[in-house]
């Protein structure tokens, strides 16, 4: 569950399924991941992007091994102490893996709360409080999953109100007014274009280094027609992020 939630951050489910299976096949426990070099995690991250998540997950596995006896913590507060684990991920793991009574608030749930329940823009504290007040006495995990699914399938950025099972009770549908979701807490903004972005070029550089060490000239040729100064800047950033390391005049995945 922890692996899937980290992989799903800013990434669609369809892109996560195969890497998630490969990852669990390679690392069936946190200690298995922690004992392997970071480069192994980075190689298994192919196709997911946002590679800092891979490094954070590897660091989280080491923390679990060294400080929690190899067992993923069960409560949200302790989970938030793991590298790369924020409030949403901690609550999702606590709820779905361990049945803890905590609310899960992401962009999908944020839209449902702002439209169906409040019909107004919600600040962060308001959205969190409302999500917690809605928790049932039992079946919390199913409740949280239902809100996530409503936001993913019906209460989208472009909502499908006509077929939504909450249409008869949704305050925005019944009362009207401007859409309260776009500026509400937890509702993500539209991402910048991927094509031609630094994110794309960073991914291509890491894609090359997954299979081989390479000189800067080889990296520049591989990501052409991107200009050399931009490639050098992005390589420097990858080194600072701890994802790439220099071995003499060659580049390779960190901790290879």
Same domain, 221 and 242: yes
DSSP, residue by residue, 124-149 = HHHHHHHHHHT--SS-HHHHHHHHHH
pLDDT digits (tens, 9 = 90+) for 63-109: 999 999 999 999 999 999 999 999 999 999 999 999 999 999 999 99
**pLDDT confidence tier of residue 191, bands split at 50, 70 and 90:** low
The neighbouring-strand residues paired with 252 are 245
User: Which tokens hold the place of 102?
Assistant: 């905590």
CB 46 within 8 A of CB 7: no
Q: What percent of the chain has pLDDT over 90?
A: 89
CA distance 94 to 7: 17
**Residues taking part in catalysis:** 5
Same domain, 112 and 133: yes
What angle do helix axes 228-240 and 198-211 make, rounded to 10 degrees? 70
Same domain, 14 and 74: yes
Which is nearest to 116 in space by CA: 172, 175, 191, 194? 172
Task: Work out how many domains the chain is built from and give that number.
Answer: 3
Last residue of a domain, one of 39, 68, 98: 98
pLDDT digits (tens, 9 = 90+) for 221-230: 999 999 999 9
DSSP-assigned letter for residue 9: T
The neighbouring-strand residues paired with 250 are 215, 247
Same domain, 230 and 171: no
Provide the pLDDT for residue 192: 63
CA distance 253 to 211: 9
Residue 158 lies in a domain: yes
CATH number at residue 234: 1.10.10.10
pLDDT digits (tens, 9 = 90+) for 5-18: 999 988 888 999 99
Same domain, 24 and 67: yes
Residue 182 lies in a domain: no
Last residue of a domain, one of 66, 98, 130: 98
Provide the pLDDT for residue 26: 97
End-to-end CA, the chain: 27
Residue 185 lies in a domain: no
CA distance 139 to 27: 30
Same domain, 94 and 111: no
Same domain, 79 and 155: no
Residue 169 lies in a domain: yes
Position 189 pLDDT exceeds 90: no
DSSP, residue by residue, 227-251 = -HHHHHHHHHHHHHTTSEEEETTEE
Last residue of a domain, one of 98, 122, 149: 98
Same domain, 161 and 235: no
Same domain, 93 and 19: yes
Q: How big is the CA angle at 83 (ends 139 and 107), to the nearest 5 degrees?
A: 50
Same domain, 8 and 94: yes
CATH number at residue 168: 1.10.1670.10
Residue 147 lies in a domain: yes
**pLDDT confidence tier of residue 53, bands split at 50, 70 and 90:** very high
Residue 22 lies in a domain: yes
CB 208 within 8 A of CB 221: no
Same domain, 122 and 156: yes
CA distance 240 to 208: 18
Which residue range forms the structural domain that includes residue 237? 198-253
Same domain, 205 and 240: yes
Residue 86 lies in a domain: yes
Residue 191 lies in a domain: no
CATH number at residue 76: 1.10.340.30
Which is nearest to 24 in space by CA: 54, 8, 1? 1
Which is nearest to 17 in space by CA: 3, 30, 37? 3
């Amino acid at each position: 569950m922890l692996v899937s939630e980290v992989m799903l951050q800013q990434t669609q489910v369809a892109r996560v399924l195969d890497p998630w299976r490969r990852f669990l096949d390679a690392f069936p426990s946190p200690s298995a991941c922690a004992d392997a070099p970071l480069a192994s995690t980075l190689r298994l991250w192919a196709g997911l992007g946002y590679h800092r998540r891979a490094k954070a997950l590897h660091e989280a596995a080491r923390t679990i091994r060294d400080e929690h006896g190899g067992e993923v913590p069960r409560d949200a507060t302790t989970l938030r102490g793991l590298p790369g684990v924020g409030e949403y991920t901690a609550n999702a793991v606590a709820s779905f893996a361990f049945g803890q009574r905590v609310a899960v608030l992401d962009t999908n749930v944020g839209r449902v709360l702002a439209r169906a329940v409040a019909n107004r823009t919600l600040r962060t504290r308001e959205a969190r409080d409302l999500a917690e007040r809605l928790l049932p006495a039992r079946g919390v995990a199913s409740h949280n999953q239902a809100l996530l699914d409503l936001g993913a399938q019906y209460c989208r950025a472009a909502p499908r109100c006509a077929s939504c099972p909450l249409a008869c009770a949704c305050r925005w549908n019944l009362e009207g007014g401007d859409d309260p979701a776009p500026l509400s807490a937890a509702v993500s903004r539209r991402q910048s274009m991927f094509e031609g972005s630094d994110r794309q070029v960073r991914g291509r550089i890491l894609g090359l280094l997954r299979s081989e060490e390479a000189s800067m000239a080889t990296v520049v040729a591989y990501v052409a027609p991107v200009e050399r100064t931009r490639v050098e800047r992005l390589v420097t950033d990858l080194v600072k992020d701890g994802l790439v390391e220099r071995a003499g005049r060659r580049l390779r995945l960190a901790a290879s």
